[in-house]
Amino acid sequence: MDPAEPPTAKITYRSYLRLPELLDCQSPLSDAHDELLFIAIHQSSEIWMKLCIHELEAARSHIARDAIPPALKMLSRVSRIQAQMIQSWEILATMTPVDYDRMRGTLGSSSGFQSDQYRRIEFLMGNKNARMLDVFADEPAVHASLATALHEPSLYDEALRLLARRGLPLSEAVLRRDVSQPYVPSPEVEACWTRVYQQSDTYWDLYELAEKLVDLEYRFQLWRFGHLKTVERVIGFKRGTGGTAGVAYLAKVIEQVFFPELLAVRTTL
């Protein structure tokens, strides 16, 4: 190589994206035609989730430093990613029950329930549940990483700390709560968000942040609903491969709320 030639001179589209390795990862275990579809949808979803984690962690860091504009951009990007992920259910829904039965045996006990990236996103957004770590008991590195995420403040925790730094009255009970525990709705938090909405000219960036969080939750719930309806369409009310109750489990998950006061404030207003 010419010493004067930059190290990137030999980079090609295929080498930069590592396409040979990437495209070698789609390896069906059966001769079922639709297994490639199933693998491609789930692998692409994991790549999108990797980007969501990258953006959500950065947004949380910016909020903690009072840097709201870049955080808003990152949250907007996650919402756009979620739109892509929601659309992917439309593609997977082209798989019929017969198509799925031809390949279901190759899945063994594997399940989306075992996605550590999905669990990390839930923790980042505030749905903390220590019992979910048990799923990864046989993977020490993954278990340890998620345990760390469990004990870190969520995006919402940092947003509430930001409200307090802006002079909104939040008690120490809210600000110093155990962030590894599920979030419990608070009347004082709802009162603070109500003030932000009613005085949006004064708290414009906080108002924008609130709406970005609502958008994030809205699209996440649409993704959950799309998952439920796709599973219902493909396997009906059978149990999931990972041992969950399938559609019944997914319906219960939809009831979980990330930012409760931001929804409750709409009734208050």
Binding residues for substrate: 100, 104, 241
**Token pair of 246, please?**
């399938």
Compute the distance between CA of residue 177 and CA of residue 160 in angstroms, rounded to an integer. 11
Burial environment of residue 172 by CB neighbours within 10 A (0 to 12, 13 to 18, 19 or more): exposed
Binding site per annotation, positions: 100, 104, 227, 241
> In this structure, is the dihedral angle defined by the CA atoms of residues 201, 165, 194 and 259, taken in order, positive or negative?
positive
Within 10 angstroms of residue 4's Cβ, the number of other Cβ atoms is: 6
- Which positions ≥6 away from 29 have C-beta within 8 Å? 35, 103, 106
User: Which of the 8 DSSP states describes residue 107?
Assistant: G
Within 10 angstroms of residue 53's Cβ, the number of other Cβ atoms is: 18
Binding site per annotation, positions for heme: 227
Burial environment of residue 92 by CB neighbours within 10 A (0 to 12, 13 to 18, 19 or more): buried
* Tokens 């932000």, residue located: 196
Compute the distance between CA of residue 94 and CA of residue 92 in angstroms, rounded to an integer. 5
- Which positions ≥6 away from 21 have C-beta within 8 Å? none
Yes or no: say if 142 and 136 are a contact pair by the CB < 8 Å rule.
yes
Compute the distance between CA of residue 124 and CA of residue 29 in angstroms, rounded to an integer. 34
